[in-house]
Amino acid sequence: GLKVRSTGGLMVDILRQVDAIPVVLAAAETYTAFQRGVIDAVALGAPDMVAYRLHETGTHYLRVGLTHTVIQFCLNPRTFDGLAGDLRVQLYDLYRLHGQVANRNFYGGGALDTAIATLRAEGVEVTEQTAAERQQWVDAVQPLEQRFIEENEQRGLPATAFVREAKARAAVYADWTDQQLWDHASANPVQGIIAL
């Protein structure tokens, strides 16, 4: 299989499911590794590919869309709990929306369109999947979902119901535009993730 730059964790499992050889590298090392042939491909979104100038080495871009970029924050609970109550609320609201802001301003919408246009302008061949090709990718990673269910059901957690509900909820938003998603997330923020 192709040696593909990967983040760790689930992305490694996803790449193995499609017969690739995951190579976990820091983003800053990707350009040089790609240029020198240490890796054959890179699993990144178009905006990151442009930011890291990977179009200077790569000649093809396949839009797969199996994963989403998630912006995460980690704070020491004692530090967070030691903050004034009003500041905890402000940070909570800010961090909760930050992922949507990153998607809106960098990973999705117009920024994604601009990144893809940049790749094309730099001579990269951009390939869009057919519905049948997309389904092949989805089918290839299906065993990971089943593994998740089995591992969590063994722990006594309702994983089957969780996956069913997650898919049902995702289906509601499947055809929404980036703007509709943004408006909804802004108007209906998720509550109760942490105790304030």
pTM: 0.79
* DSSP state, residue 130: P
pLDDT at 182: 83
Amino acid at 58: G
Residue 6's pLDDT is 92
Q: Where are the domains of the chain?
A: 131-184
Distance CA 89, CA 85 (A): 6
Q: Tell how far CA 114 is from the center of its chain.
A: 18
pLDDT at 196: 64
Residue 98: phi and psi, rounded to 5, are: -60, -40
pLDDT one digit per residue (tens) for the chain, 196 residues: 999 999 888 999 999 999 999 999 998 899 999 999 999 999 988 999 999 999 999 999 999 887 777 777 788 989 999 999 999 888 888 887 777 777 777 888 888 999 999 999 999 999 999 999 999 999 999 999 999 999 999 999 999 999 999 999 999 999 998 889 888 888 887 777 776 6
Alpha-carbon span 4 to 2, nearest angstrom = 6
Rounded (5°) CA angle 48-49-53: 115
The predicted structure's pLDDT at residue 102 = 78
Structure tokens at 192: 């109760």
User: Position of tokens 């790609």?
Assistant: 34
- What one-character DSSP code corresponds to residue 83? S
